[in-house]
Amino acid sequence: MATVRLLSDSEAEAIPAVKAVFDDIRATRKSDFVNNFWRGLANDPVTLKRTWESLKQVMTGETALPPVVQEMIYIAVSTANGCSYCIHSHTAAAKAKGMTEAEHAELLAVIGLAAQTNHLVTAMQLPVDPAFLVES
């Protein structure tokens, strides 16, 4: 049903460059589960490795933002971009990292409000207030 094949564990094992990434995903996440995103990307070991290393760099280890906040930002972008798979996977991740029901509800409220004011602003074609353009 996808436009690419999803590699099984045995197929992934057979390609050293894929196996190396899958092993690192499992070690980093301390879980045996490798989700479909990586199984689809595995058709292209170079993109698989680059994407995983980018995610690992930004989303793990020492981060400026709490991991649960990163996941909420991820949900916000995925919602505006309409990526169903991403909304499911990052909502699951946010919950696993401690997002409470109240935080989830507020996240949705903020996303909804932002979308509303984005569209109102765009339809009105408002000029940016000079106060917002101060050199940072």
Footprint of its own copies on 94-123 (CB under 8 A): 95, 100-123
CB of 84 to its own copies, least distance (A): 6
Per CB under 8 A, contacts with its own copies among 50-89 are 50-51, 54-55, 57-59, 63-65, 69-70, 72-89
CB of 136 to its own copies, least distance (A): 6
DSSP the chain: --SSPPPPHHHHHTSHHHHHHHHHHHHHHTSS---HHHHHHTTSHHHHHHHHHHHHHHHSSS-SS-HHHHHHHHHHHHHHTT-HHHHHHHHHHHHHTT--HHHHHHHHHHHHHHHHHHHHHHHHTPPPPGGGG---
CB of 12 to its own copies, least distance (A): 15
Segment interacting with its own copies, rule: CB under 8 A, options 8-16, 17-25, 92-100:
92-100
